[in-house]
Structure 1
Amino acid sequence: MVFTALTAALALRLGDLALLHEPPATGSASALSPKRGDILDRNGVVLARSFEAFGVSVFPQQLVSEPDRLAHQLAAILPERSEERLKSELLHHATYRVLSRRVLPAQAQAINNLGEPAIVLEREPDRLYPNLSLGAHVIGYTEAGKRRAFGRSGLEKVFDEKLSGEATRGTPLVLAMDSRVQQALAAELRASMVKHHAVGAAGVVLDVQTGEVIAMVSLPDFNPNAPGMDYVTPADGSPDNRFNRTTQGMYELGSTFKALTVAMAMDEGIIKSMSQTFDATAPIRIGKFTIDDDKSHRLRKYVNTPEIMVFSSNIGTARLASALGGERQRDYLKRLGFFDPVRVELGEHSRPLYPAISNWGESATMTVGFGHGFAVSPLHLAIAYGAVVNGGILRPATMLKVAPGKAVPGTRIFTAETSAKMNALLRLVVTSGTGRKANTPGYRVGGKTGTSEKVVNGRYVKNARVASFAGAFPMDKPRYVVVAMVDEPKGIPETYGFATAGWVAAPIMGNVVARIAPVLGVAPDVTHDVDMRGILGLVETAGAEHE
């Protein structure tokens, strides 16, 4: 009902703009560049549209009215402009000053009725984002110029020439985004952010067969219709809500990296069978560091690969990383894109943070193996998980809709056999391990939790965590990867004071899948599941929920 009312109100406003008489003479309307192209979601929903608004200008040297009185009248019509500011513009020594932009038709009519000949109303291009903050970091925003609007962030900036150029004549830009999936992901991340009193959150839904980014969310967000003002969110947010945590934010995503290490070790023949065991009987002491498992699921025994995943064993993963070696580990990480800014059609991105190659010894190899000391963006992780689950092919992400049969070309990273085994292990983590709260009946969800201490000013802060979940569905034939990250969640009574990924991020995954699977055409099916017969009997007990 709210969206219907909003659409009707916008339609009325656009109608008023069209019905008002063209202001005389300055030539601004006739000289406008071709209409800026619309931005549409994959189903044709309008995400950004251009229209002609009004700008109010003045020739101070030609004023007929008394400036004090005129400033008072204008302030009553333009409440966003102070009377003092308007007066200073009216008294300015310049020959021409802009008083206000994006003036509503009723305001323009009221200003025209003042009868001041030195004030000019001019049509100028403007941009409307009817869904407010939905997809703001992807779409971006524009800034009005005299002749046309200019893209200032997001896809508005990257595709500024295509959207506004003479050659394209307003051709729409069609995104991979599905606004229904975008809304569901944003709602679940926002709910978790509020519930756990977090400072931010981010998430991605990625089609692993095509590389399309179906949804991308960064919270807090902003309203691109008024980008200078942070969009009001029900939680404390970043000083700049335009910061895209999904591509610009670099986070240690913790134990989500363990799935990558296991896949590397499996591909290199280090893991020869699922029953093969590795020493986790005691902490590993290396230099001044000690690698140990979380006390909530500490095994103190030789562990096999399913147990490493189910119990999220730091020690077991470190053993695998050590056997893999730093050189091979770095080669995989490089091919997965973890040493470069994420490849996607957005200008807002950052470079991952990792140990110096010259100082990448055994300690770094082990700790990077379980996600410690290596910071990447949530989109980096989503792309890498896509390669783990889709048969082993790394596909660069794209924000644009891909035509049927025209998937983004990929590069093989893992064998198909490794990918199939990893799908069973990721499913096992959700049915029996730290990701149980992500389980969604009928949709065969798989994935891995990750909890890490946050780095602030170069130091780890014990009470500032990042809780994340990276997973996919349906695991018998993976199509979509979902990554959810919550920045600095706090423990609450409902989670018994825990703020770890099993309690914070895994439920987001479950809720998101339940909402988006029907929209994406994935039907629930409780009659079959991933074949886990070869690994179920290798895990002694159910995993802990605290990771």
Structure 2
Amino acid sequence: MNTLVVRPARIRTAGVRQQILLTAQQRLMILMLLFMAAFCLVSVRLLAFALFDTSAGHRSGATAFVPARADIVDRNGVPLARTIDGYSIRVVPSKLLNDRQYLATELGKIFPDMSREELLAKLTGEHPTYIRRRALPDQVAAVNAIGEIGFEFPREKERLYPQLTLAAHVLGFTNAEGQGVTGVESAFEDRLTNAATRGQPLALSIDARVQGVLESELGNAVTNLEAIGGAGIILDVHTGEVLAMTSLPTYNPNKLVPDNGAARRNAVTYNLYELGSTFKPLTIGAAIDNGVVTSMAKRYDATKPLAIAGFHIRDSHMMNRWLNVPETLIHSSNIVTAQIGDQLGREKMEELFRSLGFDGRPHIELKERAFPLWPKSWGRVTTMTTSYGHGIAVTPLHLASAYAALVNGGIWRPATLLKLGDQAPPQGRRVFKASTSARMRQLLRLIVSDGTGRNADAPGFRVGGKTGSAEKPGAGGYRRHSLVSTFAAAFPMDNPRYVVIAMIDEPKGNAFSSGQRTAGWTVAPVVKKVITRAGPMLGVYPDESRDVDVSELTPLLWRNGDKK
């Protein structure tokens, strides 16, 4: 019989277990210390790298978050243009597996704006070509669903204009390579693409809210009056900042149409017009400055057309009496203005227009700027006709800058599309005496309160301005039934802050304008609506307790019942 001897299990005492636990804690502490040391070492290295490394690799990493092209924003930071990642659709003909005719049919369903012949040409060409750049997501999905490996969908930088048509002529657009073609996109190409500046948005002087008001009101008028187009601008009279600028018809820079080139023309800076009677206050201002007009009470013969060099200068509405200066402007007399222009003389008239910049392209950053139609010769007839806005053609921006000088104390400044902020405006140059500017503010206010501009009288905003209805020149002379109707205004006239120019090209006399085509009936109401809506946005609130003091001029105005 064998006996099995079993060794009893070793019983650990409490002291032994405590020793084992202490050893484990010591090892864990050592591991934690090693981990913390490694973490600190890595952190110090990263900090040193960030602070002191100046290698090219570091710089490229730092600019990885800078956009390829700077955003464009309005004066309040509202985005007007920005660059995003988008899809394009490209075909590589050599990789196509399906029948080209079938593919053309399928693509035609997705892109109804493209002809079958155009699509077949892309599918059968020798080289890869784009079917659509800036493709919409649903278009990409539809083409991908065809299941053709010859279609590619490269990701590309895309310029997006989130406000669609708003300020389209100001912003312009970029080409397929992302380069600015027109507008701000072209004028500020270096600023928008320079690595040192493209990280910050380009802030424009435009106020998107005011821009929307101008586009809305002018667009409604152009539509209702069945006109071929229009133009408008709102300008700060003291800084030259453009708060709004619109040209009609307009376009959507997100979706350019090949045959809408005419719609892309900026009528404010690139189209030339004879702006008619809006020139009359400029002539009167120069005449006051040069001592030609020394009294508001002096009367001029307006009883019959003015004969000069075989021509007759007429008024659209003959008053058949003698008129003083306030009445000349209130009733928009060509006859009297021509006489005053004749007395002013060629030299002074030409000096006036040159000092206002009418002998060169309008002063603004845009590249789309037209050179005025300057008279070939400055004879006596030219001096007289240009005094009331015929025989010289300028842009609406020329007129806006001129009116700013007329009402701001006499200083002409160039216009700008950049938000000046705390920067001082350009020094400018004196064109009118301060006293003359004060007198013109009275006269412009009278035109709206008592004259042809009554329909622009926005209550409480103390609007002043001048109507202008000019026949358009054509083959063999002026076309009597084709008018350019313009209203040049400023407000508030007791302390002018903004100029508003609105122009409608060839308005029809219909029920909307009581059968009239002239500026007092077609454009003046537009200016009234714009000022009423946009004034508070610009910090100008209606106050019917204030106005321009015209008490010394109102007794000079003829009333019904007065002797002629």
Q: Which residue of 2 aligns with 1:51?
A: 84
Query: Does 482-491 or 102-111 show the bigger shift?
Result: 102-111
Equivalent residue, structure 2, for 1:349: 369
What residue in structure 2 maps to residue 262 of structure 1?
Answer: 284
Q: Which amino acid aligns with 1:124?
A: E
SS at 2:452 equivalent: coil
- In 1, the alpha carbon distance for the partners of 2:138 and 2:303 equals 76
Greater mean deviation of Cα atoms: 32-41 or 123-132: 32-41
1:448 equivalenced with 2:463 (yes/no): no
**1:254-296 CA-partner distances (Å, limit 9, x unpaired):** 111000000000111111122223333432211111112223x
Distance (Å, rounded) in 2 between the aligned partners of 1:343 and 1:458: 33
Residues 1:41 and 1:291: Cα distance change in structure 2 (over 3 Å): same
On the 8 A contact 2:303/2:319 being kept in 1, the answer is no
Distance in 2, matches of 1:57 and 1:440, equals: 55
Relative distance call for 1:382 and 1:166 in structure 2 (3 A) is same
CA contact (8 A) 1:246 1:379 kept: yes
Whole-Å separation in 1 of the counterparts to 2:290 and 2:159: 53
Give percent identity, aligned residues only: 47
Pairs within 5 Å for 1:299-314? 299-301=320-322, 303-314=323-334
TM-score (norm 2): 0.84
CA contact (8 A) 1:175 1:400 kept: yes
Query: Is the 2:66–2:198 Cα contact (8 Å) retained in structure 1?
Result: no
CA distance in 2, matches of 1:478, 1:128: 37
Letter in structure 1 aligned against 2:361: P
1:497 corresponding residue in structure 2 = 515
Q: Distance in 2 between matches of 1:514 and 1:420?
A: 24
Aligned partner of residue 382 in structure 1, secondary structure:
helix
Alpha-carbon distance change, 228 to 31 in structure 1, aligned in 2, over 3 angstroms? farther
Alpha-carbon distance in 1 for matches of 2:245, 2:336: 33
Q: Is the CA contact (8 Å cut-off) linking 1:390 and 1:419 kept in structure 2?
A: yes
Instruction: For 2:390 and 2:88, locate their aligned partners in 1 and report how far apart those are by CA, in whole Å.
Output: 53
Is 1:138 equivalent to 2:160 in the alignment? no
Rounded Cα–Cα distance in structure 1 between residues aligned with 2:104 and 2:226:
45
Equivalent in the alignment of 2:443: 425
Partner amino acid for 2:457? N
Aligned length: 498
Q: Please, which moves more after superposition, 480-489 or 84-93?
A: 84-93
Residue 316 of structure 1 deviates from its aligned partner by 1.3
Q: Residues 32-71 of structure 1: matches in 2 within 5 Å?
A: 34-71=67-104
- The one-letter amino acid paired with 1:172 is P
> What residue is the counterpart of 1:120 in the other structure?
152
SS of the equivalent of 1:206 reads strand
For the structure 1 residues 67 and 492, does the alpha-carbon distance in structure 2 shift closer, same or farther, using more than 3 Å as the test? closer
- 2: distance between equivalents of 1:76 and 1:376? 48
> Match of 1:85?
118
In structure 2, relative to structure 1, the CA distance for the partners of 1:124 and 1:268 (3 Å cut) is same
Between the aligned partners of 2:229 and 2:139, the Cα distance in structure 1 is 38
Amino acid at match of 1:61: S
The structure that is helix-richer by fraction is 2
How far residue 68 of structure 1 moved from its aligned partner, in angstroms, is 3.3
Alpha-carbon shift at residue 114 of structure 1 (Å)? 4.5
1:315 corresponds in structure 2 to 335
Q: Does 1:397 align with 2:415?
A: yes
- Matching of residue 179 in structure 1 with residue 244 in structure 2: no
Letter in 1 for 2:483: R
Shift of 1:347: 1.2
Unaligned runs of 5+ in 2: 1-62
Corresponding residue of 2:33:
none
1:157 aligns with 2:186: yes
Q: How does 1:134-533 map to 2 (within 5 A)?
A: 134-145=166-177, 149-228=178-257, 240-295=262-317, 297-301=318-322, 303-356=323-376, 359-457=377-475, 459-493=477-511, 495-533=513-551
CA contact (8 A) 1:441 1:526 kept: yes
CA–CA distance in 1 between the matches of 2:198 and 2:269?
A: 31
2:27 equivalent in structure 1:
none
- Aligned partner letter, 2:447: V
What is the TM-score of this pair, normalised by structure 1?
0.87
- Structure 1 Cα separation of the partners of residues 64 and 160 of structure 2: 21
Compared with structure 1, are the counterparts of its residues 493 and 170 closer, same or farther at alpha carbon in structure 2 (3 Å cutoff)? same
Choose 42-51 or 279-288, whichever is displaced more. Answer: 279-288
CA distance, structure 1, for counterparts of residue 543 and residue 364 of structure 2:
34
Contact 1:140–1:153 (Cα < 8 Å) also in 2: yes
- Would the aligned equivalents of 1:162 and 1:171 in 2 still touch at CA under 8 Å? no
Larger radius of gyration: 2
1:207 and 1:186 mapped to 2: Cα distance?
18
Distance 1:223 1:354 in 2: 34
Q: CA deviation at 1:76?
A: 4.0
Contact 2:304–2:320 (CA<8 Å) still a contact in 1? no
Distance 1:310 1:93 in 2: 70
Letter in 2 for 1:450: G
Q: Distance in 2 between matches of 1:361 and 1:63?
A: 72
**SS at 1:241's partner residue?**
helix
| Structure 1 stretches lacking a partner, 5+ long | 1-29, 232-238, 543-547
AA paired with 1:306?
P
Per the alignment, residue 16 of structure 2 pairs with none
